[in-house]
Amino acid sequence: MAENPSGPTEPLDVQRIHYLVRLMKRYDLTALDVSAGPIQVRLRRRGPQAALPPPAFQPPAITAAAPQTSGTNTSAPPRTPPADSPAAPKTVVIESPMVGTYYASSAPDAPLFVSVGSVVHHETIVCIIEAMKVFTDIPAGVSGTIVEIMVKNGQAVEFGQPLFRVVPA
């Protein structure tokens, strides 16, 4: 955009925001992050069917077994974990917040952001997703330990697709 000839415009003027929104609509983007020096702008919009944006991550659904009463069929014994193995840890899934291409590192020769066993915090960058030549850092959004990486480097991902499984701290 051209600068105002009478002097610099405000970094977040309405015309610039409208321009960014038009770009999002034109290229059917649901998220856009722009930074210019100390100014950072993050725009998100809902898809055509979405009533509310989904959370960054969702804890797994927990289903409790119904208690058995004396009048029910007892042909199968109730399931109990073996005494020598601890109960499986509960996990949280980190999902893709956008459609794009998943990258596990910032460059082909750079170290991976995370691997199985990595300890992450809410702001830890776990990957990059590229859409329309815009690279977006994806934070964990949860503190814990990565126990599974569910996508491969360079793989196309969809909105809401599981990327990582984390045991919360």
Q: Tens digit of pLDDT for each residue in 7-25? A: 444 556 677 777 777 877 7
Compare 153 and 25 and report the one with higher pLDDT. 153
For residue 169, give the nearest of 105, 98, 113, 120 by alpha carbon: 120
- The string of pLDDT tens digits covering residues 49-99 is 444 444 444 444 444 444 444 444 444 444 444 444 456 679 999 999 999
User: What is the mean pLDDT of the segment spanning 122-127?
Assistant: 94
DSSP letter for each residue of 87-136: PPPP-EEEE-SSSEEEESBSSTTSPBS--TT-EE-TT-EEEEEEETTEEE
- In the chain, what are the domains? 14-44 (no CATH), 90-169 (2.40.50.100)
Share of the chain above pLDDT 90, in %: 42
Written as six digits, the tokens of 8 are 């610099």
141: DSSP letter: -
Q: What is the pLDDT of residue 122?
A: 92
Q: How confident is the model at residue 29 (pLDDT cuts 50, 70, 90)?
A: confident
Q: How confident is the model at residue 118 (pLDDT cuts 50, 70, 90)?
A: very high
pTM (2 d.p.): 0.50
Q: What is the largest CA-CA distance in the chain?
A: 85
Written as six digits, the tokens of 116 are 């199985």
Q: How confident is the model at residue 47 (pLDDT cuts 50, 70, 90)?
A: low
Cα 153–158–159 angle (5° rounding)?
125
Spatial distance between the Cα atoms of 126 and 14, rounded to a whole number of angstroms: 33
**CA atoms within 13 Å, Cβ hemisphere of 32:** 19
Q: Which residues contact 79 (CB under 8 A, 6 or more apart)?
A: 65
